[in-house]
C-alpha cells in the first residue's frame, strides 16, 4: 500500500479546510493510500514535517493550506537527498501557485486530481540558501501577505490584502539597487521587484508566456515614478501586464543578484512569507527540481514511470 504524509494548515484562508477534511482523507484512503495526517502547529512546523516525510520513505507528501504552507514544505523537501512528489490542496486566500499548476480551487476536485494525477517536474527558486516555489519580491505592497493578520484573512479573505495595501499608498519609497544578471548591470531606484515562476502574483498581477520547467525566471522591476500620476499609470500597466511602460523593466534569467546600495535595510518576501533583509541577495533557478502531482491538461510533461 502506498504511504501518504498529509500536512494540513487548519487556519489557512478562511479556515474552511476543516469542512471537507474528512471527505478528502476518505478519497485518499479509498484510492489505496495509507494516510498519516499532521496539522501544523507553528510557522516552521511544515518544514520539519516535510523533512520527516522524505526521510521516513513516504511515497507522497500532500499539503493542504495556502502558498506559504506549500512553500514551507518545499523548503523541507529541497533539503533532503530523497525528494518525494508533492500534492497540493489549495486552501489559502490567493493560491497563486495552484493556479499556475492548473490545480482546481475546489478542494475535493484538487484531492481527486492528486489520486488520479501524475507527477510533473517543476523549477524551484533558490534564495540566499532557502527556496521558493513561485515568487521572491521586494518593495511596495509585497509585505502585505505576511503583515495582514490571519484573523483578518479568515474574515475577509482576499479583500483583507486590498485593504492593507490601501493604507500603504502614501508611504511608497524607492530603493537604490544594483541588479546583476547574465553579464548585465543596472543601477537605479526601484519601488517594486519580482522574480517569478507563476501565472499570477497576489491573485491580481498576471504573468504571460511563463513556463514552470524551463529553468528561467520572469523578472519585473518598477523604477521610481516622477509623480503620483506617473505612479498610477505604471501601476495600471503592471496590472495589465503591459511591459512597454517606461518605468517597467522585464527580462528572463536563471540567476540574478540584487544589492541594496543604501544603509537602510529593506525586506523581501518569499511566496508571501517574510524573506529577510540581506544587503546582497542571490536568486537562482533549480531546474526541474521537485515533482508536483497534477491531473488533466498541463503545460508540463508528466514524469515517465
CATH architecture observed for domain 2-123+288-294: 3-Layer(aba) Sandwich (3.40)
Cα distance between residue 193 and residue 283, in whole Å: 12
Does the structure show a pLDDT above 50 at 291? Answer: yes
Please give the mean pLDDT across all residues of the chain: 84
pLDDT tens sequence across 109-119: 999 999 999 99
pLDDT mean over 86-111: 89
Residue 5: Cβ-neighbour burial (10 angstroms; 0-12, 13-18, 19+): buried
| 16-33 as b/e: b if 16+ CB within 10 A | ebeebbeebbebbeeeeb
* Least confident residue range of 54-63, 120-129, 182-191, 231-240: 231-240
Does the structure show a pLDDT above 60 at 298? Answer: no
Cα distance between residue 74 and residue 80, in whole Å: 10
Does the structure show a pLDDT above 60 at 45? Answer: yes
Q: How many residues does the chain have?
A: 305
Does the structure show a pLDDT above 50 at 176? Answer: yes
Catalytic residue among 27, 255, 273, 278: 273
Give residue 261's pLDDT band: very low, low, confident or very high (50, 70, 90): very high
Among candidate residues 205, 231, 230, the one with its CA nearest the CA of residue 218: 205
pLDDT tens sequence across 48-92: 999 999 999 999 999 999 888 999 999 999 999 999 999 999 987
pTM of the model: 0.83
Does the structure show a pLDDT above 50 at 219? Answer: yes
What integer pLDDT is reported at residue 169 of this predicted model?
Answer: 41
Does the structure show a pLDDT above 90 at 16? Answer: no
Cell numbers for 259: 544589492
Domain chopping of the chain, boundaries: 2-123+288-294, 132-286
Please indicate whether residue 273 is annotated as part of the active site. yes
Residue bearing the bigger pLDDT, 266 or 185: 185
Q: What is the CATH number of domain 132-286?
A: 2.60.200.40
Q: How much of the chain exceeds pLDDT 90, in percent?
A: 53
What integer pLDDT is reported at residue 206 of this predicted model?
Answer: 60
What integer pLDDT is reported at residue 230 of this predicted model?
Answer: 80
Amino acid at each position: 500500500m502506498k504511504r501518504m504524509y498529509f500536512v494540513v494548515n487548519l487556519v489557512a484562508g478562511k479556515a474552511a479546510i476543516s469542512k471537507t477534511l474528512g471527505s478528502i482523507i476518505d478519497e485518499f484512503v479509498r484510492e489505496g493510500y495509507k494516510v498519516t495526517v499532521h496539522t501544523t502547529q507553528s510557522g516552521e512546523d511544515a518544514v520539519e514535517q516535510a523533512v520527516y516525510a522524505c526521510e521516513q520513505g513516504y511515497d507522497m507528501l500532500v499539503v493542504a493550506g495556502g502558498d506559504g504552507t506549500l512553500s514551507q514544505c518545499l523548503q523541507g523537501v529541497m533539503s533532503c537527498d530523497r525528494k518525494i512528489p508533492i500534492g497540493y490542496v489549495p486552501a489559502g486566500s490567493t493560491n497563486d501557485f495552484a493556479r499556475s499548476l492548473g490545480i482546481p480551487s475546489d478542494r475535493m476536485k484538487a484531492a481527486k486530481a492528486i489520486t488520479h494525477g501524475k507527477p510533473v517536474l517543476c523549477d524551484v527558486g533558490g534564495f540566499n540558501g532557502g527556496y521558493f516555489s513561485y515568487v521572491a519580491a521586494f518593495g511596495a505592497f509585497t509585505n502585505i501577505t505576511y503583515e495582514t493578520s490571519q484573523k483578518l484573512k479568515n474574515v475577509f479573505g482576499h479583500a483583507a490584502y486590498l485593504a492593507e495595501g490601501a493604507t500603504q499608498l502614501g508611504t511608497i519609497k524607492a530603493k537604490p539597487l544594483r541588479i546583476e544578471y547574465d553579464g548585465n548591470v543596472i543601477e537605479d531606484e526601484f519601488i517594486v521587484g519580482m522574480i517569478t515562476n507563476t501565472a499570477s502574483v497576489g491573485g491580481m498581477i498576471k504573468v504571460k508566456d511563463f513556463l514552470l520547467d524551463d529553468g528561467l525566471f520572469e523578472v519585473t522591476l518598477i523604477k521610481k515614478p516622477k509623480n503620483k500620476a506617473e505612479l498610477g499609470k505604471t501601476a495600471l500597466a503592471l496590472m495589465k501586464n503591459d511591459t512597454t511602460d517606461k518605468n517597467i523593466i522585464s527580462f528572463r534569467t536563471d540567476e540574478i543578484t540584487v544589492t541594496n546600495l543604501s544603509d537602510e535595510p529593506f525586506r523581501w518576501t518569499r511566496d508571501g512569507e517574510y524573506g529577510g533583509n540581506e544587503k546582497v541577495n542571490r536568486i537562482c533557478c533549480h531546474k526541474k527540481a521537485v515533482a508536483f502531482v497534477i491531473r488533466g491538461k498541463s503545460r508540463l510533461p508528466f514524469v515517465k514511470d
